[in-house]
Amino acid sequence: MKQYSEACRRNEQPIAALLDEVLPDQSLILEIGSGTGQHGVAFSQRFPNFTWQPTDQPGHLKSIEAWRAEADLPNLNKALAFDLFEPDPPISRADAVVAINVIHIAPATATELLFSHAAALLDSGSPVILYGPYRYENRLLEESNKSFDSFLRRRDPESGLRVFEDVDEIARQFDFEHCGTRRLPANNDAHWWRKND
């Protein structure tokens, strides 16, 4: 049941360093697309002041629950089934929304739905953090990301690396202001936005 991703292990520390800077001290974190469940365990261990709420699509929760059961952490909640295309978020409020390697895997319309759900969940000043590979209007795409983008589009024409400027425009439509970018290993970036007043 418990799946393992080497990429999750590699990016765990750089992402954790960013979370330490961006997230409020006492936070309920909604993670969208928790995958194997490794990040939920790692970040709950590192940040005992956070309550981590993992989610993933129905039928994709077994590995998350296996990692959670083994870790037995009081601040790591039971995984909830959630698809971005559902009309309502899986919880009624959160202090932050985190999505790691999600928007380039999901259909393009999922980005708008992610910010729509975040707008319903978050108070003013609360962050949305998105991590993964991006395209940029004024920057050449790295060869590794070019290959990855081609692979994704062959597998599913609705997936693929998103243009950051398009993502930012969607965020602004839901009244989120872009606050920062962190260049992370393996040609991945973390971007974060905060909800305006």
- Report, at the CATH architecture level, how domain 12-34+84-195 is classified: 3-Layer(aba) Sandwich (3.40)
The tokens for 48 are 């005992």
State the Cα–Cα distance between residues 123 and 125, nearest whole angstrom.
Answer: 6
Measured in residues, the chain has a length of: 197
Q: What ranges do the domains of the chain cover?
A: 12-34+84-195
Q: Which residues contact 108 (CB under 8 A, 6 or more apart)?
A: 158, 160, 162
Position of tokens 């919880």?
A: 91
Q: Residue 61 pairs with which residues in a beta bridge?
A: none
Digit-by-digit pLDDT tens for the chain (197 residues) are 899 999 899 999 999 999 999 998 889 999 999 999 999 999 999 999 999 999 999 999 999 999 999 999 999 999 999 999 999 999 999 999 999 999 999 999 999 999 999 999 999 999 999 999 999 999 999 999 999 999 999 999 999 999 999 999 999 999 999 999 999 999 999 999 999 97
Residue 158, amino acid: E
pLDDT of residue 37: 97
Distance of CA 148 to the CA centre of its chain: 18
Is the pTM higher than 0.75? The answer reads yes
